Amino acid sequence: MRKSKFDILIIAALTAASVFFMLNVSSGEKRLYLIDKDTKTEVKLEDRDIILDNGHVVIQVTTEGARFLESDCPNRICIKQGWVKNCGDTAVCVPKHLAIVMECKEQDYDAISQ
């Protein structure tokens, strides 16, 4: 099988595409959001725990970010995803249809009148 050139091309293209999107992170003002199925609510960055699903899921929030602290979903992937701190960080718990995400938006104004 001497077809490896084309192979390498395809694999390189796929890797490049994923790396490109990985590096394509936003910057700007951070906002933490909690997504529960189709509702998205902003979460203030302050030290507290959010208890959901009758105590089966605990999300720890700090001034820096948030993480899934406890969850009784089978693989505990959401816990292993760790802290959501930087722009674009996301932790997802599919069985509980929950996600926490740090979204960043560049200021699109020069000053605020208040």
Partner 1 sequence: MPKLFARILCCFLIVTLYGCKESYKTEQFYAMGTFVSVTVPEKNSDIIVNTRSRITSLEAAVKEDTEKFNKNPRYKPRLAISELISRGKAYELITDGRFSIYSATVSKLYGFPEGAYRVPDQSEIDTALDNISRGTNVSLDLGAYAKGWIVDEAIAEIKASGVKTAMVNAGGDLYALGKRPDRDWRIAIQDPKNNRDYISIVNLENMAVATSGDYERFFKAQDGRTIFHIFDATTGQNPEYYHSVSVIASTAEEADGLSTAFFLINPAEVRAKCKKLKTPVLLYTVNGSIMKLCGWEKFEKK
Partner 2 sequence: MTGLFAALTVALGVLESFIALPVPGVRIGLSNVGIMLCLYLIDFPAAMYVAVTKAILVPLLTGNLIVKMSIALPSTLAATVVMGLSFFLMRRFTTPLSIGALGAVAHICTQFFVVKNLYIKADAIYNLLPYFCFFSVLTGVLTGYITRVIINNIREDERCISCFRK
d(CA 3, CA 6): 6
Binding flag, residue 14, partner 2 (CB under 8 A): yes
Distance of alpha carbon 113 from its chain centroid, rounded? Answer: 32
Binding flag, residue 10, partner 1 (CB under 8 A): no
Binding flag, residue 4, partner 1 (CB under 8 A): no
d(CA 55, CA 71): 9
The one of partner 1, partner 2, none whose footprint includes residue 66, by CB under 5 to 8 A per kind, is none
Nearest residue (CB) to partner 1, 39 versus 107:
107
- Secondary element (H or E) of residue 96: none
* Binding region for partner 1 (CB under 8 A): 29, 31, 108-114
